[in-house]
Structure 1
Amino acid sequence: MMASQEKTGKVLDVQHVTNLVTDVKSLFKGLVLLSNVLPVFTGLWLALYFTNASFLDHLGVVLLTLIGSTLVMGGALVLNNWYDADIDSVMERTKNRPTVTGTMSLKFVLLLGIALSVVGIVLLLFTTMEAVIYTFIGWFTYVFLYTMWAKRRYAFNTVVGSVSGAVTPLIGWSALDSSFHLVPIILFLILFIWQMPHTFAIAIKKLDEYKAAGVAILPVVRGINHTKWQNLFYIVCLLPLPFYLNSLGPTFITIATLLNIFWLFFSVYGFFMKDTVKWARINFIYSVNYIAILYTLMIVVTFF
């Protein structure tokens, strides 16, 4: 009997830990957070590469930048969950977040988001003021201008939100060197433009949920066909950008251009594809892999 109770207790403990990990991942939007860390590191790495600086000599700054920016971005995502708890309860993909289920109180989530943001900014103060400024711009844009102001009101909310994600390589670069350089500016533009078709794919895929939640995202306000045209426009805007990074070599330019051309053809094909949801799902998967490959490639080519 005792052994049975101990076994049951262990099962419950394991389940509790599993549920807690799931809640934390959901609260911090795990994949979103990780996808924002990569551009920060890419910015750091390329700043080291183009200034001929040693990674080990600047290891302290690299760690402070990565940890600090991750905490601030995590804080912003937590605050987004806190503010959006009402609409998250309506959407299928967000209804299990701890802010909706009640496993974490909204007060706790609010304080956690503020604390993470403050600690992250403090750590970044030990790098450069320019990195702090970019970090604050990203945080303020995401929390206030996107989450609290534009998301529920205006179809251009994606443009506003894209600024917060696009500053990440500027944070990394400016922690080591001035960002008034062509490379970090192009890194910013790539991320800014990429986020548009990436977000459109999510919105089309989950269109009914966004409608039910009252989010004024483009396909809800202007329709799917209009969104496809904008999707095509932004992908066309990506085409020339790799050529401004010719200092990374022909391998990078070739692969980046092929990625852009394939995405362009698939975007055009979307006008003829009957299953719009399937097209949006594939578009989303491609966009995620596109940015991961591109920003990883920027690092890899510096070794050759």
Structure 2
Amino acid sequence: MIKVIKVEKTLNDHSSSESKLITRSDLKSLFKAVVLVSNVLPVFTGLWLALFYTEASFKEHWDVFLLTIIGSTFIMAGALLLNNWYDADIDAVMERTKDRPTVTGKVSLKNVLTMGIALSILGFIILLFTTLEAAMYAFVGWFTYVVLYTMWSKRKYTLNTLIGSISGAVTPLIGWAAIEPAFHIVPIVLFLSLFIWQIPHTFAIAIKKCEEYKAAGVAMLPVKRGFEYTKGHMLVYVTCLCPLPFFLPSLGWVFFTIATLLSIGWIVLALKGFFVKDDLKWAHWMFLYSLNYLMILFGAMVIVTFFH
């Protein structure tokens, strides 16, 4: 209740700021630009690989490509806006989010809620012009992130990370299903890769911002069980990524080598966490490595198809 009052007071104190221009930085914060882009890349990868494996022509499916990317981007943007709307009280407490437009009052919570709902609906309408299956995967991701993660588990259970990981993991399924049904080993491996990847990635952020999460009352694993326990979980999940490239032999030995080296490097860094003195610095390196891991891995999946 205290947090809600704080947010309301902040919005009242900044009521005159509605007339101010919204900056590019405000928009990036409002739409969580980095998160949005990192979720669109797997959609594209899933779609591209579906074209590759079915030997379909991109030129003949350019309209499906545009509808899929635009529709899924709108849905994700809508979900992220709804997350910002619901978590305004938490964002007001945390240092890294206290300047979001939803906290400063540059954009009213009512407007954010309206935009979030409108973008979500528009995105689903656009995506329905591809396939019903693609729209269904998008709905699973949206519902998991907005309802099961943001509104239900984030403040109560450390399992919130596992639940939230589902929403990001369905993104390549959306892209693949826009071309053909996703009952295929490739989209399943993409789903598992993203699901597993998100857990150590999120835990790295949670360790870095542990005190902020604690102050905001967010039930992250490092807050509830400590750093050493969390490091053990991170090592397990990073190790689980190693076998996945074996299920994609059709992408060739170059991709297999890149994926394996990336996984081994991450395991070494995860093991190092048990011997470091500065946990926050180590967590920052884990966070950076996770971002590069995702971009390189999914980028390599696309690039190697040009040589087959």
1:17, distance to aligned residue in structure 2 (A) = 8.8
C-alpha distance in structure 2 between counterparts of 1:145 and 1:107, whole Å: 22
Aligned to 2:259: 256
Aligned to 2:119: 116
Matched residue count: 289
Amino acid at match of 1:265: V
Unaligned runs of 5+ in 2: 1-18
Aligned counterparts, 1:15-30, within 5 A: 19-30=22-33
Deviations 1:252-272 (A, max 9, x none): 001100000010011011100
TM-score by length of 2: 0.93
Unaligned runs of 5+ in 1: 1-15
Aligned to 2:248: 245
C-alpha distance in structure 2 between counterparts of 1:26 and 1:266, whole Å: 30
Counterpart among 264, 268, 278 of residue 265 in structure 1 = 268
The 4+ residue runs of structure 1 with deviation greater than 3 A are 16-19
Residues 1:89 and 2:89 aligned together: no
Residues 1:52 and 2:58 aligned together: no
The CA RMSD over aligned residues, in Å, is 1.0
Deviations 1:178-209 (A, max 9, x none): 10000000000000000000000000001110
Aligned to 1:5: none
Counterpart among 104, 107, 118 of residue 107 in structure 2 = 104
C-alpha distance in structure 2 between counterparts of 1:181 and 1:254, whole Å: 23
Residues 1:200 and 2:203 aligned together: yes
Aligned to 2:130: 127
1:20, distance to aligned residue in structure 2 (A) = 2.3
3-state secondary structure, aligned to 1:286? helix
Residues 1:157 and 2:160 aligned together: yes
Residues 1:285 and 2:284 aligned together: no
State the identity %: 65
Aligned to 1:40: 43
1:19, distance to aligned residue in structure 2 (A) = 4.5
Counterpart among 139, 143, 149 of residue 146 in structure 2 = 143
Deviations 1:228-287 (A, max 9, x none): 000000011101001111110000001100000010011011100110000000000000
